[in-house]
Amino acid sequence: MNLNRLIGVAGGMGTQVTACFYEKLHALQSVTKEQEYLDVLIYSKPTIPDRTAYITGQSSESPLDALIYVLKTLESAGATCIAIPCITSHFFYDDLVKAVNIPILNMLDETAAFVASNGINNVTLFATDGTLKGGAFHSAFKKHDILVNNPSDEVQSSLMAMIYDIKRGVSISQQALDAIIEKSRCSGIETIILGCTELCIIEGKRDGLIDTLDILATACIRHGASVLFR
């Protein structure tokens, strides 16, 4: 096994997202033979306590210890970096990076840099209540002078219902997401950040949506290449 570029994935938040993330990571790689693909080690731990419930004060059960356990397990197995395909968990990012001695890719910073590189300075953020309350995404975008708009209360309520349906294994149609998008775009904001990875797995998304799961997968490939050719 090529341990010099082993990508560790802290998964299970949720399980469909973890499976989709690996598919995206695979699809974005261009190789001439099987052995050129990145080595990937996935630890899917759906028993990690609910991040949003803790951040919003609905639960006193912190997910931090469980998250650290997953990261340390991946590090011990030889991972050279860690990807966490769950945006809400990035509320704990500063504590997580202190717990291990390998890089943890930051979806928020990666997304903000991508948006800035495309000359976009005004976006709407579709995310969990925990992500909105935590404010880490807003801070990442502020570094690039990008204005982040939260959805209306009605749109946010619909998004949260959709996100938790997906976590329960319910299949959500493109049309269901489109209906929420149209409500949000009535405010004049054209670019929407899919700031919850559950939303990124809905098939058939249209233009004007920024897929944070794609951005994280691209960052993993970039890290793998930098290790390989260092």
User: Do residues 102 and 119 share a domain?
Assistant: no
User: Do residues 80 and 36 share a domain?
Assistant: yes
User: Do residues 99 and 139 share a domain?
Assistant: no
Give the active site residue among 20, 86, 200, 220.
86
User: Do residues 189 and 136 share a domain?
Assistant: yes
Is 86 an annotated catalytic residue?
A: yes
Q: Say how many domains are in the chain.
A: 2
pLDDT band for position 205 (cuts 50, 70, 90): low
Residue type for position 190: E
User: Do residues 126 and 201 share a domain?
Assistant: yes
User: Do residues 191 and 219 share a domain?
Assistant: no
Q: How far apart are CA 206 and CA 175, in angstroms?
A: 11
Residue type for position 205: K
Give the active site residue among 20, 81, 186, 196.
196
Can you give the CATH number for the domain in which 23 is found? 3.40.50.1860
pLDDT band for position 210 (cuts 50, 70, 90): very high
Q: Is the pLDDT of residue 3 over 60?
A: no
Is 220 an annotated catalytic residue?
A: no
User: Do residues 11 and 102 share a domain?
Assistant: yes
Q: Is the pLDDT of residue 76 over 50?
A: yes
- Domain range spanning residue 47? 3-106+214-228
Q: Which residue has the higher pLDDT, 203 or 176?
A: 176
Q: Which residue has the higher pLDDT, 186 or 68?
A: 68
Q: Is the pLDDT of residue 108 over 80?
A: yes
Region 126-135: what's the mean pLDDT?
A: 96
Q: How far apart are CA 1 and CA 39, in angstroms?
A: 7
pLDDT band for position 187 (cuts 50, 70, 90): low
Q: What is the DSSP string of the chain?
A: --GGGEEEEEE-TTHHHHHHHHHHHHHT---SSGGGSPEEEEEE-TTSPPHHHHHTTS----SHHHHHHHHHHHHHTT-SEEE---SGGGGGHHHHHHH-SS-B--HHHHHHHHHHHTT--EEEEE--HHHHHH-HHHHHHHTTT-EEEPPPHHHHHHHHHHHHHHHTT----HHHHHHHHHHHHTTS---EEE-STTGGGSTT--TTEEEHHHHHHHHHHHHHHHHHT-
User: Do residues 17 and 52 share a domain?
Assistant: yes
User: Do residues 96 and 14 share a domain?
Assistant: yes
- Is residue 64 within 8 Å of residue 95, measured between CB atoms? yes
Q: Is the pLDDT of residue 196 over 90?
A: yes
User: Do residues 115 and 205 share a domain?
Assistant: yes
User: Do residues 164 and 220 share a domain?
Assistant: no
Q: Which residue has the higher pLDDT, 79 or 185?
A: 79
Q: Which residue has the higher pLDDT, 225 or 153?
A: 153
Q: Is the pLDDT of residue 228 over 70?
A: no
User: Do residues 118 and 73 share a domain?
Assistant: no
Q: How far apart are CA 54 and CA 82, in angstroms?
A: 23
